[in-house]
């Protein structure tokens, strides 16, 4: 064992092309930071550099799309369907966040260069969370992401709420990271490896130690926090409300998707069900049951709490909890898949769900940013009273996003829901079927608060004066991208789903076929 | 011309959307709100005229038994197709939709003042979704249109509705969405059962039906019941069947006149249509087994709706509750599982659309004049507005089911169908109970007519009311004509739908014995006993 390790150290199996997209993003971050230190506060320049960097990265990522699934760096990095589909979502999220942030940067005195650099570093972290095929890489990615977002949440230095948000996120986030790390350590102790492919092989060992089970539970806590599932969700509303709205958008969409990517890789690919091995059956059943219960709780608590909110940002925060629950339906479906093909389809479904959620939610947050004005003062439901016909374009766009979050046909949200419900029903398992029914009932509950925003905008009259804000160019671009995304993924999702599923060939481990 | 004939249904679905876009464009460039109603009227009228081709067309049905069928792949990853077509069951409902739309537009001529551009956009989008519902033969596409019809209606009630509009709009949306989401789960469930047993999953209704017929796809008794219930819940809420009806009076009362007319005439039919099209054919065994629940609930609906209607102080609410009772008859006819009963149910759907639609229009006319719907505010209108009174009484008669008017034919067929039904237990008892509903209907409608139109004019405000204008007479005249025509000569309507109804009936009764051997002998006997009584 040791000799192998040493050999690897000497010859680290360098495979640069495989991490090229990540490297480009990191490099862009460095360039932005350097540029900013010489010519500070150049919003358009740093923004443009960042967007170009993200575009180049996306270009290389897409060019890898047709390659066969592969691993590099001694199996630490995997380039497969999961990585590609999730990474493209991250790049999109990052780019749209930069566009949204321009309004905020105009309104307030933000150290914009630093912000762009942090955003890129966070994206870099997220990308490694998707491509990391090793617990250590995943942890490094997660910490890179977390530290950058801690700072971003507190960027509004003069504002108490923003400070509270950053502090809360930092303390609770570190706590969760500790759990995750502890879990990883225990799993290393149990299997002797941090490589997910190898862990999956060790799980097949009929007499695995109970340590693996404890480690898995610890990791559920850690990932559960990042994904914001009940009961590890309590930080979400405060942090989301206090953070500047573009940062909230980024956290709600980006961090969540990234956490889902690693969560999926560790559990679905790392702890699979292997036919005939009692131990793996036990482990598999444990995590599937635990996550199913969590998913049901997450959806229900998220939706019911969202109904009670009077602040749009808090409402969207709780709705993001509920959406984590819906995504978990597909996740568990992936865990219960009967063969490789079904598993890949289910992973693609979760990635597609995050894509639809990303375009919808980013669009909603873009409008919330615009209407929120300086320091996000105007984010209560009352502030949206009767603006429907004063700013019809904005209001109808926001309504479209709400209907997509609700999951109404012809919008992206609907296709996302159909995609994640599919694998769960496919499993033909009572618990999973109950979970899907719970998701359906929850969707109906969620109609109440999504419609509420439409109700206040269109059905109520405004008593106070209100001037429709001018929409800056960058925000127009962001809205255009998101609206087109919502409609495109809702109506012509065929191609995207195909791309996501096609490439999602499990490199890593052949899941045993169930009898 | 060939292009139109080939893609007629797609054109019917898309034309209103094009109309909506044209309104937005018109608004952007001319800013003349007064033109918009003409633009909307133009598009709806064109759509109606085009839909007449559906009736006139004499070409043979496709192999699947549908006309104007079109099947284009949509999302191949999940094997869902844009599959549309009409048969005898949906044909009349599509025409009813396109027919009622221009009338609804005309009814808003002076009623909608604020934000009329958005109003007409939503109206047109609604038409497109409604036509889509009746044409889709792919379950996912059907669900899509079914849900899509909610949004425009939600806005129509919420923005242009009465005082309590927000409550009504949200209630309407959430009630319907809850039901249909469970149906979505069932639809995906069907997909996987099909995938499991035949190797390919499908949302295609025709494929699913063929697999079920040939036995390549079977599901256990319990699964069948659950799937049936998930579909039935969605449709029962839409119908609405007692006790899921509570959204209806609110939505009807608060909606603007055009909204109420469309709601009554078309939206409610989606429920009964869905039950007949999907529940009866996909789950015949479960339909038979659970029929008694639906029969009891529809009887309760008939009697309860009538009793509650009787005590309503608000004319519009009264008409809304009468809808609950009338739709109860439709359900009863359907669940008789006889050709006659189901023919009657389909006929009654059309009748209800015409008569109740007309009643809502008439209530709208008087509301525009007096801005109140309370019965006590009126009295003796017959002397002030003779034309209005005549038309109103005539429409009431049609709604009650006076012979030689349309309501009679439908109610008679449903009740005879139920009386002769061999598929359900205690059919005669059920018919007798339902029969009391006819009497109640006469009571509440005539009592309302008496209080509103007869006696002396007590309220001074009513003395100066103007009688109907030519526009108002013109827009209700086609409805009155149909009431008579359909009452005197129902054959063309029934002939057109017979084949499809018989197919559904066969499908239902073939499973009678539960075994294949039974299927050969039993249904023919049933059909033969039912046939002579039919016409």
Please tell me the distance in Å from A300's CA to the nearest CA on chain B. Answer: 15
pTM: 0.88
- Check: CB of residue A395 under 8 Å from CB of residue A387: yes
| A277 part of contact set with chain B, CB < 8 Å | no
The SS3 assignment for B72 reads strand
Residue contacts between A and B (CB atoms, under 8 Å)? 93
| Strands B67-75 and A77-79, sheet pairing | unpaired
Please tell me the distance in Å from A503's CA to the nearest CA on chain B. Answer: 13
pLDDT of residue A12: 66
CB contact set of A336 (below 8 Å; sequence gap of 6+): A273, A288, A423, A424, A427, A429, A432
Q: How far apart are CA A487 and CA A397, in angstroms?
A: 11
In a domain, A87, yes or no: yes
DSSP state, residue A455: I
Phi/psi of residue B138, nearest 5 degrees? -115, 130
User: In the predicted model, what is the mean pLDDT of residues A26-53?
Assistant: 89
- Per the structure, the complete domain to which residue A445 belongs is given by 2-509
User: In the predicted model, what is the mean pLDDT of residues A389-408?
Assistant: 90
User: In the predicted model, what is the mean pLDDT of residues A362-370?
Assistant: 92
Burial A5-18 (b: 16+ CB within 10 A, else e): eeeeeeeeeebeeb
- Check: CB of residue A135 under 8 Å from CB of residue A270: no
Phi/psi of residue B512, nearest 5 degrees? -50, -55
Kindly indicate the confidence band of residue A280, based on its pLDDT and cuts at 50, 70 and 90: confident
Q: Each residue of A455-493: pLDDT tens digit?
A: 888 888 887 777 888 888 889 999 999 999 999 998 888
CA distances from B137 to B69, B82, B202 (A): 9, 8, 12
In a domain, A101, yes or no: yes
In a domain, A514, yes or no: no
Q: Each residue of B71-85: pLDDT tens digit?
A: 888 888 788 888 888
In the predicted model, is pLDDT for residue A277 greater than 80? Answer: no
What's the alpha-carbon Rg for chain A, to the nearest Å? 22
Q: Using CB atoms within 10 A of its CB, is residue B403 exposed (0-12), middle (13-18) or buried (19+)?
A: exposed
Q: How far apart are CA A283 and CA A285, in angstroms?
A: 5
A-chain residue closest to B188, CA distance: A422
Q: Each residue of B382-408: pLDDT tens digit?
A: 888 888 889 999 999 988 888 888 888
Nearest to A459 among B75, B148, B165 (CB): B165
Nearest to B192 among A425, A452, A501 (CB): A425
pLDDT of residue A2: 54
Q: What is the DSSP string of B225-279?
A: HHHHHHHHHHHHHHTTPTTSTTHHHHHHHHS-HHHHHHIIIIIHHHHHHHIIIII
Please tell me the distance in Å from B45's CA to the nearest CA on chain A. Answer: 26
Q: Each residue of B278-288: pLDDT tens digit?
A: 998 888 888 88
Bridge partners (DSSP) listed for residue B71: B83
Q: How far apart are CA B337 and CA B501, in angstroms?
A: 10
CB contact set of B91 (below 8 Å; sequence gap of 6+): B54, B55, B67, B496, B497
- Check: CB of residue A502 under 8 Å from CB of residue A62: no
pLDDT of residue A94: 95
State yes or no: cis peptide before B243, omega within 30 of 0: yes
Q: How far apart are CA B142 and CA B133, in angstroms?
A: 5
| A304 part of contact set with chain B, CB < 8 Å | no
In the predicted model, is pLDDT for residue A158 greater than 90? Answer: no
Q: How far apart are CA B144 and CA B13, in angstroms?
A: 13
Q: Using CB atoms within 10 A of its CB, is residue B58 exposed (0-12), middle (13-18) or buried (19+)?
A: exposed
Kindly indicate the confidence band of residue A207, based on its pLDDT and cuts at 50, 70 and 90: low
Q: How many domains does chain A have?
A: 1
Q: Each residue of B373-383: pLDDT tens digit?
A: 888 888 888 88
pLDDT of residue A182: 93
Average of per-residue pLDDT values in chain B: 85
Q: Which of B291, B251, B327, B262 is nearest to B129 (CA)?
A: B262
Please tell me the distance in Å from A427's CA to the nearest CA on chain B. Answer: 9
pLDDT of residue B518: 39
Which residues from A are below 8 Å from B118, CB to CB? Answer: 389, 392
Kindly indicate the confidence band of residue B33, based on its pLDDT and cuts at 50, 70 and 90: confident
pLDDT of residue B470: 87
Q: Each residue of A73-126: pLDDT tens digit?
A: 788 888 888 899 999 999 999 999 999 998 888 778 788 888 999 999 999 999
In the predicted model, is pLDDT for residue A3 greater than 70? Answer: no
CA distances from A433 to A275, A281, A417 (A): 22, 20, 14
Contact B196 A444 (CB under 8 A): no
Q: How far apart are CA A83 and CA A128, in angstroms?
A: 9
Q: Each residue of B303-354: pLDDT tens digit?
A: 898 989 888 888 888 988 988 888 988 998 888 888 888 899 999 999 999 9
Q: Name which of A81-90, A114-123, A267-276, B268-277 the model is least confident about.
A: A267-276
| A403 part of contact set with chain B, CB < 8 Å | yes
User: In the predicted model, what is the mean pLDDT of residues A295-310?
Assistant: 92
In the predicted model, is pLDDT for residue B63 greater than 80? Answer: no
Q: How far apart are CA B489 and CA B495, in angstroms?
A: 11
């Amino acid at each position: 064992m040791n000799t192998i390790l040493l050999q690897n150290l000497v010859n680290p199996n360098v495979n640069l092309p495989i991490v090229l997209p990540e490297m480009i993003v990191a490099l862009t971050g460095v360039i932005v930071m350097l540029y900013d230190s010489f010519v500070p506060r150049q919003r358009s320049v740093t923004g443009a550099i960042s967007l170009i960097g993200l575009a180049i990265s996306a270009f290389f990522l897409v060019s890898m799309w047709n390659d066969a699934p592969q691993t590099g760096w001694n199996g630490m990095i995997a380039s497969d369907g999961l990585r590609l589909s999730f990474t493209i979502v991250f790049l999109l999220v990052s780019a749209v966040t930069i566009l949204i942030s321009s309004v905020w940067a105009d309104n307030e005195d933000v150290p914009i260069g630093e912000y762009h650099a942090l955003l890129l570093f966070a994206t870099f972290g997220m990308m490694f969370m998707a491509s990391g095929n090793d617990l250590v890489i995943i942890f490094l990615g997660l910490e890179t992401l977390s530290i950058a977002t801690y700072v971003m949440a507190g960027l509004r230095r003069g504002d108490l709420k923003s400070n509270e948000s950053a502090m809360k996120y930092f303390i609770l986030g570190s706590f969760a990271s500790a759990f995750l790390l502890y879990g990883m350590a225990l799993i290393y102790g149990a299997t002797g490896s941090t490589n997910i492919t190898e862990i999956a092989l060790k799980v097949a060992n009929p007499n695995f130690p109970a340590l693996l089970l404890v480690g898995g539970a610890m990791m559920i806590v850690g990932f559960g926090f990042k994904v914001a599932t009940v009961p590890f969700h309590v930080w979400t509303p405060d942090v989301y409300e206090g953070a500047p709205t573009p940062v909230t958008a980024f956290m709600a969409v980006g961090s969540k998707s990234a956490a889902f990517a690693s969560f999926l890789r560790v559990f679905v690919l790392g702890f699979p069900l292997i036919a005939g091995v009692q131990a793996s059956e036990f482990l598999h059943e444990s995590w599937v049951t635990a996550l199913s219960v969590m998913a049901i709780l997450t959806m229900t608590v998220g939706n019911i709490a969202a109904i009670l909110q009077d602040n749009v940002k808090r409402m969207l925060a709780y709705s993001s909890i509920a959406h984590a629950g819906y995504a978990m339906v597909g996740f568990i479906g992936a865990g219960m898949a009967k063969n490789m093909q079904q598993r890949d389809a289910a992973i693609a479904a979760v990635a597609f769900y995050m894509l639809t959620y990303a375009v919808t939610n980013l669009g909603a947050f873009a409008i919330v940013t615009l209407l929120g004005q300086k320091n996000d003062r105007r984010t209560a439901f009352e502030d949206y009273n009767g603006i429907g016909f004063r700013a019809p374009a904005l209001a109808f766009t926001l309504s479209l996003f709400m209907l997509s979050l609700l999951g109404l046909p012809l919008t992206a949200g609907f296709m996302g829901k159909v995609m994640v419900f599919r694998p769960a029903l496919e499993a033909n398992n009572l618990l999973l079927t109950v979970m899907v029914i719970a998701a359906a009932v929850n969707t109906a509950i969620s109609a109440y608060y999504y419609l509420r925003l439409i109700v206040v905008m269109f059905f109520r009259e405004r008593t106070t004066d209100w001037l429709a804000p001018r929409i800056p160019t960058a925000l127009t671009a962001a809205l255009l991208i998101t609206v087109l995304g919502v409609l495109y993924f809702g109506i012509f999702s065929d191609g995207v789903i195909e791309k996501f599923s096609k490439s999602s060939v499990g490199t890593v481990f052949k899941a045993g076929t169930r009898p | 011309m060939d292009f139109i004939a080939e893609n007629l249904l797609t054109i019917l679905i898309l034309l209103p959307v094009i109309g909506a876009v044209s309104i937005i464009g018109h608004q952007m460039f001319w800013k003349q709100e007064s033109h918009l109603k003409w633009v909307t009227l133009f598009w709806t009228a064109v759509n109606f005229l085009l839909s007449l081709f559906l009736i006139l067309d004499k070409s043979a049905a496709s192999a699947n038994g549908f006309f104007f069928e079109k099947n284009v792949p949509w999302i191949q990853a999940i094997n869902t197709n844009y599959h549309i077509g009409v048969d005898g069951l949906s044909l009349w409902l599509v025409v009813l939709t396109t027919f009622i739309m221009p009338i609804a537009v005309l009814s808003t001529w002076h009623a909608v003042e604020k934000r009329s551009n958005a109003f007409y956009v939503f109206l047109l989008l609604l038409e497109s979704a409604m036509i889509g519902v009746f044409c889709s033969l792919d379950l996912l596409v059907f669900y899509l249109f079914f849900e899509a019809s909610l949004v425009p209606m939600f806005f129509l009630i919420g923005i242009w509705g009465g005082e309590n509009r927000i409550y009504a709009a949200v209630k309407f949306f959430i009630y319907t969405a809850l039901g249909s989401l469970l149906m979505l789960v069932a639809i995906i469930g069907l997909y996987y059962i099909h995938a499991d047993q035949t190797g390919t999953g499908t949302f295609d209704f025709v494929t699913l039906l063929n697999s079920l017929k040939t036995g390549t796809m079977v599901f256990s008794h319990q699964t069948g019941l659950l799937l049936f219930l998930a579909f039935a819940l969605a449709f029962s809420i839409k119908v609405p069947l007692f006790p899921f009806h509570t959204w209806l009076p609110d939505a009807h009362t608060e909606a603007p006149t055009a909204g109420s007319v469309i709601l009554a005439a078309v939206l409610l039919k989606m429920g009964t249509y869905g039950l007949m099209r999907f529940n009866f054919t996909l789950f015949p065994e479960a339909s038979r087994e659970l029929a008694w629940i639906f029969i009891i609930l529809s009887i309760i609906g008939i009697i309860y709706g009538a009793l509650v209607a009787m005590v309503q102080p608000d004319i519009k609410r009264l008409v809304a509750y009468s809808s609950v009772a009338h739709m109860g008859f439709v359900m009863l006819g359907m669940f008789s599982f006889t050709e006659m009963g189901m023919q009657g149910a389909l006929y009654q759907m059309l009748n209800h659309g015409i008569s109740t639609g007309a009643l809502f229009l008439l209530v709208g006319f008087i509301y525009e004049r007096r801005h109140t719907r309370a019965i006590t505010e009126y009295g003796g209108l017959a002397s002030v507005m003779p034309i209005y009174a005549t038309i109103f009484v005539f429409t009431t008669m049609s709604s009650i089911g006076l012979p030689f008017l349309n309501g009679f034919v439908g109610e008679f067929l449903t009740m005879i169908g139920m009386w002769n039904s061999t598929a359900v237990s205690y059919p005669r008892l059920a018919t007798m109970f339902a029969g009391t509903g006819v009497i109640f209907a006469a009571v509440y409608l005539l009592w309302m007519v008496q209080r509103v139109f007869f006696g002396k004019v007590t309220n001074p405000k009513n003395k100066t009311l103007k009688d109907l204008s030519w526009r108002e007479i013109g827009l209700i005249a086609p409805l009155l004509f149909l009431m008579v025509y359909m009452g005197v000569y129902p054959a063309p309507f029934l002939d057109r739908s017979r084949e499809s109804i018989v197919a559904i009936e066969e499908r239902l009764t073939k499973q009678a014995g539960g075994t294949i051997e039974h299927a050969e002998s039993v249904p023919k006997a049933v059909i033969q006993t039912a046939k002579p009584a039919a016409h």
